[in-house]
Amino acid sequence: MKREKILEELSLKTESKIVLFVMDGLGDLPLEGKTVLEAARTPNLDRIASAGACGLTDPVFMGITPGSGPAHLALFGYDPTEYILGRGILEALGVGVEVGRNDLVARGNFATIRDGLIVDRRAGRIPDEENAELCKKLNAALRPIDDTEIRLFPGKEHRFVIKFHGEGLSDRLSDADPQKENLPPAYAQALSAEAERAARAANAFIDQVTELLSDSPRANAVLLRGFATYPTIPTLGDMVKLHPAAIAQYPMYKGLAQLVGMDVLPVGPEYEDLFLTVEQNFDRYDFFYVHFKKTDSYGEDGNFEAKKTALEAADVLLPRLLDLNPDVLVITSDHSTPSLLKGHSWHPNPFALFSRIAQPDAVRTFTETACAQGYLGRFQAKQALALMLAHALKLNKFGA
């Protein structure tokens, strides 16, 4: 019997409340002998770790560095090696494009073509403003193809997201991108019969764009890759009867939360807005995913000090979550982003579960090595959902 099926059968609808506070990229490696968690002053995190049960989680499996997509799916209870999110979907979520059941999305580049060959896959990295202008112009001029509507969403420099909206669009398409320069552009190929309608739409779009941009000096062609339809993931409501809310300030995380059926709540731009939004909506939901971004951003920048300051700022605000008296409060990260590595890494996430009925362990500080000594041990992140549900008394007994 599969884990998801067991959870589905055992889960109960109750009034109890779970708060999952995700400090993105929190896990770290020592710089001058200390990790950010070891160097920072975090009395509230330490209090939560002392009172709760701690451990370390692997988002995918040991040694695997996850992107934000798989890392979050795992935290939401899904096996990230089973639910694979297409690149197009992740890109769309990242720039805040809403994607629905009848949408097909892909990542796009504006490119430069000359004498039938792609001479620059990035059209000279045109400025964002030029990109936005081009998308606007194309959106106004593009004609639907077979009742399929097409819309471009500008990203940074030469990048955009394209969304095809219509019935029967499959993502079983090859990239319309030769990947290298000095080659002719490529059409999308249907990789199975059901994708022929989508291939027709993608290729007619390419032809329309090439015509519309024929007098443009640099951005006169498009490359499309990572075609993806809306993934079929059971919602947290269907799977475990939760009524969940997401409180996140960046599009990628709002998008990921929406994929698993969370209500994405409006939230202001400051750290404290995250906490205010939980407070204001605490009666309305039974599960709150709260996403704190800056620990990851500064880790990516290799800025140890700024990561530490962001962490300390979050720590100061944590009592506001405790004051709400949730049945379960989990503090963890989706993946590690050590400033030493300036990027995501495979190192496991510190994890603290605070609940009236958690087993307190010997862990007294919320750090990587302290959590390694915790009662929860080292476990796969996808297991955290059942732990949270259990401590909120939202799971029936398995068997008699």
- Least Å distance, CB 314 to its own copies, is 22
- Least Å distance, CB 375 to its own copies, is 4
- Exposed, middle or buried by CB within 10 Å (0-12, 13-18, 19+), for 30? middle
Query: Among 308, 334, 374, 381, which residue sits at the site for its own copies (rule: CB under 8 A)?
Result: 374
Q: Tokens in use for 17? A: 């409340």
Residue among 229, 232, 176, 233 at smallest CA distance from 204: 176
How far is 390 from 380, CA to CA, in rounded Å?
Answer: 16
- Least Å distance, CB 180 to its own copies, is 19
In 230-376, beta strands by DSSP E: 244-247, 263-264, 287-292, 328-332, 349-355
328-332 and 349-355 strand pairing: antiparallel
Question: Which residues lie closer than 8 Å to 365 by C-beta, 6 or more apart?
Answer: 38, 46, 49, 50
Q: Which is nearer to its own copies, 61 or 270 (CB)?
A: 61
Torsion of CA 179, 180, 185, 190, to 10 degrees: -30
Query: Among 25, 52, 80, 154, which residue sits at the site for its own copies (rule: CB under 8 A)?
Result: 80
**Interacting positions 116-135 with its own copies (CB under 8 A):** none
- Least Å distance, CB 341 to its own copies, is 7
The count of chain residues that interact with its own copies, using the rule CB under 8 A, is 67
Asked if 232 interacts with its own copies (CB under 8 A), we say: no
Q: Tokens in use for 273? A: 């807005």
Asked if 52 interacts with its own copies (CB under 8 A), we say: no
349 within 8 A of 44, measured Cβ to Cβ: no
How far is 7 from 386, CA to CA, in rounded Å?
Answer: 7
Q: Apex CA 221: angle with CA 220 and CA 223, to 5°?
A: 155
Stretch that binds its own copies, among 150-158, 177-185, 292-300, 383-391 (CB under 8 A): 383-391
Q: Which is nearer to its own copies, 24 or 120 (CB)?
A: 24
- The DSSP annotation for 207-273 comes to HHHHHHTTT-SS--EEEEEEEEEPP----HHHHH---EEEE-SSHHHHHHHHHTT-EE----SSHHH
328-332 and 103-114 strand pairing: unpaired
Asked if 398 interacts with its own copies (CB under 8 A), we say: yes
Q: In whole angstroms, how large is the CA radius of gyration of the chain?
A: 23
**Interacting positions 304-323 with its own copies (CB under 8 A):** none
Asked if 276 interacts with its own copies (CB under 8 A), we say: no
- Least Å distance, CB 65 to its own copies, is 5
Query: Among 85, 134, 135, 248, which residue sits at the site for its own copies (rule: CB under 8 A)?
Result: 85
Query: Among 14, 16, 65, 102, which residue sits at the site for its own copies (rule: CB under 8 A)?
Result: 65
Q: Which is nearer to its own copies, 202 or 376 (CB)?
A: 376
Stretch that binds its own copies, among 161-169, 197-205, 312-320, 377-385 (CB under 8 A): 377-385
- Least Å distance, CB 390 to its own copies, is 4
**Interacting positions 10-39 with its own copies (CB under 8 A):** 10, 29-30, 35
- Least Å distance, CB 44 to its own copies, is 22
Query: Among 75, 162, 331, 376, which residue sits at the site for its own copies (rule: CB under 8 A)?
Result: 376
Length reported for the chain: 400
Distances (CA, A) of 390 to 51, 158, 215: 17, 47, 62
Q: Which is nearer to its own copies, 66 or 166 (CB)?
A: 66
Stretch that binds its own copies, among 76-84, 116-124, 285-293, 313-321 (CB under 8 A): 76-84
275: Cα separation from own chain's centroid = 20
Asked if 338 interacts with its own copies (CB under 8 A), we say: yes
Q: Which residues bind its own copies (CB under 8 A)?
A: 1-3, 6, 10, 29-30, 35, 56, 60-71, 80-82, 84-85, 87, 90-91, 94, 338, 340-341, 343-347, 357, 359-362, 368-369, 372-379, 383, 385-391, 395-400
